[in-house]
Amino acid sequence: MAKTINTPDAVVRIEKSGNRFNAWDSDGNKRTSEITTGARKKAFNGDYLLGRFTNKASNFYWRKWDGGEWAKPVADSPSVDVPTDHAEVLNFIHSSYSLKPTGLMMTELKWKYLVRSAVRGKNIMMTGPAGCGKTMAAKALVNSLDRADFYFNLGATQDPRGTLIGNTHFEKNKGTYFSESLFVKAIQTPGAVILLDELSRAHPDAWNILMTVLDYGQRYLRLDEADNQATIKVADGVTFVATANIGNEYTSTRVMDKALMDRFTIVEMDVLNEEDENNLLNYMFPNVDSTLLGNVAKIATLTRTESSSDSARITSGISTRTTVELAGLLFDGFSLEEAAEVSIYPQYDNTGGVDSERTFVKQIVQKFCDDGSSDDLFNEDEMAEASDSDNN
């Protein structure tokens, strides 16, 4: 029997922009968000194309493609030409909603405000609860404008000076020399978008270094505090986008310096309501039963409504990051009860036994499991009331 040759329905070439590896298909469409960073980086370093294939479960996946006519050169990568004339800028901003990816649940007003801030060269701070899509929104902005971008996770930085400025090294053949950081290169790249992730978790030393960089009247980085040391000017058009968790509930974050906060335009991400959460999960996991995904959205909504009430029995609601993980487990064949056991319950304190937060959340989840337990926890009126409160 002749072997069937499986051909891809799309082929992309990987091109590097800043420290991002972008994927472009043969029609000039950007497919970066569809492919993992690791796969894109390997394809770029290996100088090969990636093809999109469909498996027996009708799911898409990307892998190396060397075949025939599909391996044709990709057209020149298009970029979004951001105008400078005021009338054209207005038109660009107010027609930019079409650039927002479908998977990003963000209102049209806030998306336009985000784009406007980037176009006008503002420092942008994305705020909101953990798992609400701050980093996703920042990366979506970068993809939409197609500008060189650089990513720095300041929450994981152990050496702020080394990360943002550089380090002094010694080698026998070279002696003592200074090696500048990637951040120094980034701020000298005209038009670059620099993502400062988890700024609220950064060490205060990082904040001090960033003060002059982010100040519109200064915009420079000094490599050393000694007199007559070189200063690096921030290039024209560079935009800084930071993400931050702000609030008393985030115990691992720091109280941010007011002077640093004043250097940013704030874009607050919304917590999704039940309808938006359901739409997002169905968009991301079209092969999972929609009723199951609807139950995940209801569980999340109930926990968020409860955590924000005056007599809350839990301190925080389930994040969108957790609901996406739940849906992913459902896609991989776990039951709702099993998925909740490993992804939801560990987030809640078990102290207090039957009166604990974990027990309360378990009862919520059980309401939507097949065994029908805890049916007396919420009646239909309470469910409707919770949904109405969330939507308002």
Burial profile 25-49: b = 16 or more Cβ within 10 angstroms, e = fewer: bbeeebbbebbeeebbeebbeeeeb
pLDDT exceeds cutoff 80 at 41: yes
pLDDT exceeds cutoff 90 at 321: no
DSSP string, 81-106: ----SHHHHHHHHHTGGGGS-TT---
Residue 222 near residue 176, CB atoms below 8 Å: no
Nearest CA among 192, 194, 183, 141 for reference residue 33: 141
Residue 331 near residue 288, CB atoms below 8 Å: yes
Nearest CA among 343, 356, 250 for reference residue 299: 343
- The 10s digit of each residue's pLDDT in 123-158 is 999 888 777 778 888 888 887 777 788 888 888 777
DSSP string, 216-261: TTT-EEES-SSTT--EEEPPTT-EEEEEE--STT-TTS----HHHH
DSSP state of 78: P
pLDDT exceeds cutoff 70 at 372: no
Q: Give the pLDDT confidence score for residue 261 in this predicted structure.
A: 86
183 Cβ neighbours under 8 A, 6+ residues apart = 150, 152, 163, 164, 165, 194, 221
Identify the band that residue 169 occupies on the pLDDT scale cut at 50, 70 and 90.
low
């029908």: which residue's tokens? 372
Q: Give the pLDDT confidence score for residue 3 in this predicted structure.
A: 42
Residue 113: both structure tokens together: 């405000």
Q: Give the pLDDT confidence score for residue 70 in this predicted structure.
A: 34
Residue 18: both structure tokens together: 């800043």
